[in-house]
Amino acid sequence: MEQILIRANTPSDEQQTGTLHVRRFLKIEIVKNILIKLLIFWGLAFVTFFIPVYDVFLTPLFFVIGLYQALDAEKARFKIHHGQVACPHCKENIKFKRGILYEDHEVVCQKCTTVVKIALKDPYPERDGRKILT
Ligand SMILES: [Zn+2]
């Protein structure tokens, strides 16, 4: 488990800094996540291939969804354990639930319903080995 700094942005308010407790995905886990996504959606594409009429729509649909899901899985670097940041708009604490931190992560403030963009404070922490605490 490591602690990373995040920035919370909205288009009109001052940026806020918060912390996330995360676990970094290992390379092998990222590959596994990609393969699982491909297996699920391409499996569905394969099954729907045998449904008359609907196969025309469903097979390419699941094929494309599978590609997008796999690309998403490729971008996921951290598993969120917990964390919080002040809402840039109303300063209410936004708490993070367990989940995956995506590249263009967004959360909605429960108090003012502002959509807050979350970004890593240091966008390339893996480039500097000293900053990895694990
Ligand atoms: Zn708010």
Domain boundaries, the chain: 2-25+84-128, 28-74
Q: What is the pLDDT of residue 127?
A: 53
For residues 131 and 122, what is the distance between their CA atoms, to the nearest angstrom? 10
Q: Does the structure show a pLDDT above 90 at 36?
A: yes
Q: What is the mean pLDDT of the chain?
A: 90
Cα 116 to ligand 1 centre (Å): 8
Residues with CB under 5 A from ligand 1 (ion): 87, 89-90, 92, 109, 111-112, 114
pTM of the model: 0.70
Q: Give the whole-angstrom CA distance, residue 126 versus residue 88.
A: 27
The 10s digit of each residue's pLDDT in 90-132 is 999 999 999 999 888 999 999 999 999 999 887 655 554 444 4
What letter represents residue 35's amino acid?
A: L
Measured in Å, residue 121 CA sits from the centre of ligand 1 at 20
pLDDT at 126: 55
